[in-house]
Amino acid sequence: MKASPIRSLSIAEVLVVEERKVVPHPLDGFRLVHEPYYAPVAGEIDLFERAWKHRLPLLLKGPTGCGKTRFVEHMAWRLGLPLITVACNEDMTAADLTGRYLLDAGGTFWQDGPLTMAARHGGICYLDEIVEAHADTTTAIHPLTDARRILPLERHGELLRAHPDFLLVASYNPGYQGRGKGLKASTRQRFGSFSFGYPVPEAEAAIVAHESGVALEVAEQLVKLAGRTRDLLDDGLDEGASTRMLIRAGYLIRDGADIMDAVRLNVTQALSDDPEVEASLHALAQACVG
């Protein structure tokens, strides 16, 4: 049996092969593979999708651990967009967001920052706890939050026009305002705002049970305790127990830990360093879940 002769591809055939090659998106590594669980409260999913249609920058306001980040993750998955999350902090500079020149064996080269990556290639850039960043950092985002949708990269000599699929989302805890951590009106007014709070007890218990795997009755006890701690914000606590804390306690309880041990580790000892406040929280936990 004769072997089939090897035939060279014509130029036209090579071009067809090249066209069929799948070029990976530069931000494919930032796509969520699995749907993040999120229980909607008041039509926020529909409203986010409508804001996305017009590429309106969004600001999520609410206490720590109430579901702001999970909501953004869910919407990124729902819209099929890459999600680049930046945990803002007081040491973060504008260059950390936009980019800088770096040096390697071949010389200097420009490295896009996370904000520039999202603006250049399309995707959500999520600035978590934006109030923690320096004021000069937040002003760097202003040109991206109006009709211009541009990002001046002065060090790189580039005026970057945002990709059509770029969306800027930020979050912060308004409770920080009492500690000198507010957001300037000139920045806040550039965003559409969602106000988040903790769900009603029945909904929060269902979330804790779903996420941690504990029985609903246990989740209800944990939520009852959280509600009591949230009533103590004027009596020695900066913040009450978050839904995230309850879920973490639920993980341990599901795996066989004593409920009071799980609560002590994830709630009462995590909320305060003051021995008297901690003792009061422990007594409260015993009354609610002990």
On the question of pLDDT at 99 being above 70, the answer is yes
153-195 per-position pLDDT tens digit: 999 999 999 999 999 999 999 876 545 567 888 889 999 999 9
Say yes or no: 37 and 141 in one domain.
yes
Say yes or no: 174 and 88 in one domain.
yes
DSSP SS3 for 176: helix
Q: What is the extent of the structural domain holding 237?
A: 201-288
Residue 179 lies in a domain: yes
d(CA 140, CA 127): 13
Residue 12 lies in a domain: no
pTM score above 0.95: no
26-40 per-position pLDDT tens digit: 999 999 999 999 999
Domain count, the chain: 2
Domain final residue pick, 140, 163, 195: 195
Residue 7 lies in a domain: no
d(CA 133, CA 129): 8
Instruction: Spell out the alpha helix ranges (H) of 106-258.
Output: 114-121, 135-139, 185-188, 201-212, 216-230, 243-254
CB 126 within 8 A of CB 170: yes
Residue 165 lies in a domain: yes
Say yes or no: 180 and 135 in one domain.
yes
- β-partners of residue 101 are 110
Domain final residue pick, 195, 222, 245: 195
Residue 3 lies in a domain: no
Say yes or no: 97 and 169 in one domain.
yes
- β-partners of residue 166 are 123
**Secondary structure letter of residue 3 according to DSSP:** P
DSSP SS3 for 227: helix
Instruction: Return the closest-CA partner of residue 272 out of 224, 208, 229.
Output: 229
DSSP SS3 for 112: strand
C-beta atoms surrounding 114 within 10 Å: 19
Say yes or no: 172 and 278 in one domain.
no
Say yes or no: 105 and 181 in one domain.
yes
Residue 6 lies in a domain: no
Say yes or no: 25 and 156 in one domain.
yes
Say yes or no: 112 and 167 in one domain.
yes
Domain final residue pick, 177, 195, 213: 195
- Residues sharing a CB contact under 8 Å with residue 166, sequence separation 6 or more, in sequence order: 55, 118, 119, 122, 123, 125, 144, 149
Provide the angle, in degrees to the nearest 10, between the axes of the packed helices 201-212 and 216-230: 130
On the question of pLDDT at 236 being above 80, the answer is no
34-72 per-position pLDDT tens digit: 999 999 988 999 999 999 999 999 999 999 899 999 999
73-98 per-position pLDDT tens digit: 999 999 999 999 999 998 998 999 99
Say yes or no: 67 and 167 in one domain.
yes
- β-partners of residue 127 are 86, 170
Say yes or no: 38 and 174 in one domain.
yes
Say yes or no: 230 and 180 in one domain.
no
Say yes or no: 179 and 209 in one domain.
no
- β-partners of residue 194 are 60
